[in-house]
Amino acid sequence: MDAGARSGSFRRQHDASRAPLTTNHPLDPTKEDSGRRLPLNAMGWLWSSSKAPDGDKSSSSSETKDFSNLDRSLEEYLKSSTPQDIQPTAPVPEIEKPVLKVVSQVEKSKPRESVAREYGEQPAPHSQSAYGDRYADYWASYKGPDANKIDSPDVRIKEYLAGYKQMVKDMKAAAAENCSIEEIELHHCYNHGSMWQKMRMCTEENQRLSKCITQQTEFLKALGYLADPWRDPALTEKMQMHADRLYRQQQALDAATKSAVKEGRSVEEAVARIKADFASQSAARNPTNEQSS
């Protein structure tokens, strides 16, 4: 075969391949076997852009028939890739806005607990409560063990020593108050004493004052002065006066004993006379006690 014949046969084959597509549609009676070209939207392609109207039931039945002819795996793929209907979400509940309460000046002056009870507010449940807010009223006034802290031994010893030093200081102040006569004599010696007394720095007066303060402090300690911080102040003052009376009695007994020894008289008689004098003085000060006895 020569080159011209080959080119002619190849041209005929190419024209045949470019011939219009004709078909005899067995499912469409409107199509004739005339070899006419079918429109693109009339073909039963799944990816066709034409959609049946909402009220057209026949189109949906034809689509169902077309789906029934598909492969099982392809049908499952189409169903899985088809978007599902979006379910309407529930409306978000609106958050209630807190209502501001105007508190008057009278309510501000009230305690917080009374205001809470008046407005019906329930106290918050305590962290240590095992019943929630069941006993919230009782837990509201609970302070716990932290409110009553126990100090360490060192701190307690320091507090005890500080209290003891303060008690001794107050006791010496009370003794010095009882020894006011000796203190006046000392100041008189400094201001109006003789030259000999001033040269000796009023040694005798200083000794009498020091002895008075020491003895008065011992008497106060023996009587339990300031031992009870909750004692009646009137009773504490009576104890201070009694300590001064004991010291004056001791001083009078010492002087009577020295004079009796110096004069050669009986010491017992001198001591008995001094005691009788002090007993009569105490009876004159407290007549009610003598009548009751």
Name, in order, each residue with C-beta under 8 angstroms of 244's C-beta and a sequence gap of 6 or more: 178, 216
Specify the pTM: 0.47
Q: Half-sphere exposure of residue 53, counting CA atoms within 13 Å on the CB side? A: 2
pLDDT, residue 270, reads 86
Residue 238: C-alpha distances to residues 68, 214, 225, 228, 270 (Å): 122, 19, 10, 14, 28
Asked if 289 contacts 274 with a C-beta cutoff of 8 angstroms, the reply is no
Closest CA to 256 of 284, 281, 277: 277
Reading the block at residue 40, the tokens are 């693109």
- The predicted-structure confidence for 132-166, as pLDDT tens digits, reads as follows 677 777 776 777 666 667 778 888 899 999 999 99
47-to-73, 78, 268 alpha-carbon distances in Å: 17, 11, 146
Residue of 252, 259, 255, 240 lying closest to 276 (CA atoms): 252
Query: For the segment 3-57, what is each residue's pLDDT rounded down to a tens digit?
Result: 555 555 555 555 555 545 444 544 444 444 444 554 544 445 555 444 444 444 4
CA 113, CA 140: separation in Å to the nearest integer? 9
State the Cα–Cα distance between residues 87 and 239, nearest whole angstrom.
96
| pLDDT per residue as tens digits for the range 189-229 | 999 999 999 999 999 999 999 999 999 999 999 999 998 88
CA distances from 150 to 133, 147, 157 (A): 30, 9, 13
